[in-house]
């Protein structure tokens, strides 16, 4: 396994890797409690012969580095032990754990598999393979490994705990509850199991029951900071950010969270600060999203100085898109102000997703627009700007949201009218003619879901059947803006609701974002959840209705969207009651349709 080429690939990955990829927050797989690591620490060198005797002291140093969360150093020591004898199962296992925690997923997998071949009777290897597969969202694979671990170690609550959490993430809630219920029956004093039962309830939006189970976990173990974090996350999902902040504070004040869970908690805390509108504190706190211990952090390969609040006048500045495409559009809200801050002698370069280049070139004519690109190196997303070669010409660079610390420190700092993107006026005219050909009525661009509807994400979107009343509003013409698999819903609307959702020819709704912006501006209204399309629509100044979850963080505590003056938000009173958002929206769209019909009658007269 560890021939010269393979060893070189590991060493190269170690020199490049920056993220420590954590376990899922509700998993049971603490490296500090690892049987393999404890075995190494307790191993008496006098019991070993030859090469193993030489390797054990090196492995003990590696284990200590893992306990210190110095995973790169631990992996290097693991390689040193493997150089003594690559057929030592413990050396392969310890190195795999270090690589896994460091985030070098493909190499960790190789090492786990080799450890398994050398010692197929070790249950912990199956658990670690399951945790790795879970983190990679290979849920079926993770489920199988956890089931094997459960059979091999029926006395360990970690097995059913992790199995139940994977079943939850697959949307198999009843199965997850049954696994936990069975395990709790014989392990009623396990705070871990009660906590996980709470997460299953939370994903089903049964928040009160979730908090009940989290509190049961805390009754058993008052030091379980993870449970306070989960209560906070529960309340934040409900839009109760002030209460969420209290819970996050309690979790962090205990000082017992592992680095990865602390990073997750600080990120959740920052999101709730944004959600309460405390922007003077929130944007600084939000820098935690770049902490490599945070599971969704992106590594940037940008070889110039990162901006940290320095004066920008006259500087050459690179702004790099981050997170999802919708977030990228949202954060560009401040780009025009950034150009002014740089002044006439400064230069702004904006790196965006390739699909956005054409629209951004027209929208920000004073800036240079380039593409960013993201690759995965051993499971770690790394973003760079491959077309840039003159790196020395830049004074600073920053991820897009970082400039909000200087430019959006209060609600008053947001624009009060219009949009900040500029669609092609000729294409707007083209689409207005196409829409007119559909006949009279209010032209409403419609989307209703995410392209990635996982069990965790689905709770943030109204079920399609609840759109029946709005779709049947008199005087409306509905046009599909939903990309991805949506034909079944479109056919259902026509068969069950009696409503035709028109599909326009000549546009790729996912990839042709410049033309999408023009199409949105040609509409009388665009409606949908907060995603890339609605962000582009509102950022282009189109009238946009957002059907959003209660007090979502982009609302900045206002109930609306300060980022977009032409947007209006309809939120449910609870995340499980979407009718409370769709009923007022139905009245809103009916009023618009009636108003337009009156104007048409007046013009005809």
Domain final position from 359, 383, 409: 409
Same domain, residue pair 332 and 439:
no
In a domain, 341, yes or no: yes
How would DSSP label each residue in 409-473?
Answer: SSGGGS--SS-S----HHHHHHHHHHHHTT-SSEEEEE--S-SS--TTTGGGS--GGGGHHHHT-
Six token digits for residue 158: 């970690």
Indicate the number of domains in the chain. Answer: 3
Please, are residues 400 and 331 in contact by the beta-carbon 8 Å criterion? Answer: yes
Answer for the pair 377, 16: CB distance below 8 angstroms, yes or no.
Answer: yes
Please give the DSSP secondary-structure letter assigned to residue 306.
B
Is 444 found in the same domain as 366? no
User: Is position 233 within any domain?
Assistant: no
Low-confidence ranges of the chain (pLDDT < 70): 1-36, 39-41, 43-48, 377-380, 451-457, 601-605
User: Is 132 within a domain?
Assistant: no
Flag whether 192 is in a domain. Answer: no
**In what order do the strands lie in the sheet containing 380-384?**
299-301, 380-384, 373-377
Residues 443 and 359 in one domain: no
Same-domain status, 493 and 390: no
Pairing of strands 380-384, 373-377: antiparallel
Dihedrals phi, psi of 339, to nearest 5 degrees: -60, -45
Structural domain contains residue 528: yes
| Distance in angstroms (rounded) separating the CA atoms of residues 596 and 599 | 5
Domain-embedded: residue 209: no
CATH code for position 48: 1.25.40.10
Q: What is the CATH number of the domain that holds 530?
A: 3.40.50.2000
Residue 148 lies in a domain: no
At 578 the pLDDT is 92
Residues 436 and 393 in one domain: no
Strands (E), 327-423: 347-352, 368-371, 373-377, 380-384, 396-399
Same domain, 522 and 554: yes
Domain that holds residue 99: 1-119
Do 420 and 335 meet the contact criterion of CB atoms below 8 Å apart? yes
63 with 36, same domain: the answer is yes
Which of these three, 381, 409, 437, is where a domain ends? 409
CB 154 within 8 A of CB 160: no
Cα–Cα distance measured from residue 279 to residue 46, given in angstroms and rounded to the nearest whole number: 60
Reference 61, options 98, 21, 112, 111; nearest CA is: 98
- Specify whether the CB–CB gap between 414 and 562 falls below 8 A: yes
Pair (377, 436) in one structural domain: no
CB 69 within 8 A of CB 20: yes
Domain match, 385 and 439 both: no
Cα separations in angstroms, 451 against 10, 70, 349: 35, 38, 30
- CA-CA distance, 377 to 9, in Å (whole number)? 11
CA dist 515 → 292, 423, 434, 440 (Å): 36, 8, 13, 23
Are both 372 and 432 inside the same structural domain? Answer: no
Burial 83-106 (b: 16+ CB within 10 A, else e): ebebebbbbbbbbbbbbbbbbbbe
Q: Do 458 and 514 lie in a common domain?
A: yes
Say yes or no: 542 and 403 in one domain.
Answer: no
Residue ending a domain, choose from 67, 92, 119: 119
Instruction: Please tell me the predicted confidence (pLDDT) of residue 458.
Output: 74
Predicted model pTM: 0.87
Chain centroid to Cα 287, Å, comes to 15
Q: Is 598 contained in some domain?
A: yes
């Amino acid at each position: 396994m560890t021939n010269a080429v393979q060893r070189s690939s590991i060493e190269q990955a170690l020199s490049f890797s920056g993220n420590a990829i954590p376990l899922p927050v509700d998993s049971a797989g603490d490296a500090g409690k690892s049987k393999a690591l404890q075995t190494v620490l307790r191993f008496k060198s006098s019991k070993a012969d030859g090469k193993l005797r030489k390797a054990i002291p090196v492995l003990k140093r590696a284990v200590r580095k893992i306990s210190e969360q110095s995973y790169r150093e631990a992996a290097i020591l693991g390689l040193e032990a493997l150089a003594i004898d690559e057929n030592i199962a413990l050396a392969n296992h310890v190195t795999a754990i270090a690589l896994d925690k460091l985030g070098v997923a493909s190499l960790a997998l190789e090492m786990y598999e080799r450890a398994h071949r050398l010692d197929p009777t070790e249950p912990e290897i199956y658990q670690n393979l399951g945790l790795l597969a879970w983190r990679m969202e290979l849920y079926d694979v993770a489920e199988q490994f956890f089931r094997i671990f459960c059979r091999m170690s029926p006395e360990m609550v970690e097995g059913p705990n992790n199995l139940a959490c994977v079943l939850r993430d697959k949307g198999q809630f009843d199965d997850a509850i049954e696994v936990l219920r069975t395990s709790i029956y014989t392990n009623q004093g396990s705070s871990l199991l009660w906590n996980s039962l709470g997460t299953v309830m939370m994903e089903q939006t049964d928040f009160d029951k979730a908090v009940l189970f989290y509190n049961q976990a805390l009754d058993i173990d008052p030091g379980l900071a993870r449970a306070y974090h989960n209560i906070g996350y529960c309340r934040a999902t409900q839009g109760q950010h002030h209460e969420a902040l209290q819970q996050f504070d309690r979790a962090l004040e205990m000082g017992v969270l592992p680095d990865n869970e602390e990073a997750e908690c600080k990120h959740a805390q920052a999101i709730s600060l944004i959600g309460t509108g405390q922007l003077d504190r929130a944007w600084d706190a939000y820098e935690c999203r770049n902490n490599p211990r945070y599971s969704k952090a992106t590594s940037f390969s940008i070889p110039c100085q990162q901006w940290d609040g320095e004066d920008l006048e006259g500087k050459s500045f690179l702004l790099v898109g981050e997170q999802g495409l919708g977030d990228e559009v949202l954060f560009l809200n401040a780009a025009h102000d950034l150009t002014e801050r740089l002044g006439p002698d400064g230069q702004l370069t904006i790196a965006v997703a390739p699909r956005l280049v054409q629209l951004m070139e027209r929208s920000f004519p004073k800036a240079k627009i380039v593409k960013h690109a993201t690759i995965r190196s051993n499971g770690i997303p790394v973003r760079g700007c491959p077309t840039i070669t003159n790196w020395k010409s830049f004074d600073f660079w920053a991820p897009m949201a970082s400039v909000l610390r200087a430019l959006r420190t209060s609600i008053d700092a947001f624009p009060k009218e219009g949009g900040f993107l500029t669609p092609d006026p000729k294409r707007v005219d083209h689409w207005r003619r196409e829409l007119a050909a559909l006949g009279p009525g209010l032209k409403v661009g419609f989307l209703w879901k995410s392209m990635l509807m996982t069990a965790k994400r689905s709770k943030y979107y109204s079920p399609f059947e609840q759109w029946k009343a709005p779709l049947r509003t008199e005087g409306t013409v509905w046009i599909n803006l939903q990309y991805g698999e949506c034909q079944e819903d479109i056919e259902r609307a026509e068969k069950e609701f009696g409503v035709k959702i028109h599909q326009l020819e000549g546009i790729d709704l996912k990839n042709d974002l410049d033309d999408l912006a023009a199409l949105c501006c040609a509409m009388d209204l665009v409606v949908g959840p907060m995603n890339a399309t609605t962000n582009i629509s509102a950022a282009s100044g189109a009238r946009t209705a957002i059907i959003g979850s209660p007090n979502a963080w982009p609302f900045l505590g206002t109930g609306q969207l300060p980022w977009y003056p032409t947007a209006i938000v309809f939120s449910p009173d609870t995340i499980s009651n979407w009718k409370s958002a769709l009923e007022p929206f139905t009245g809103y769209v009916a009023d618009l349709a009636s108003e337009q019909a009156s104007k048409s009658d007046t013009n005809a007269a």
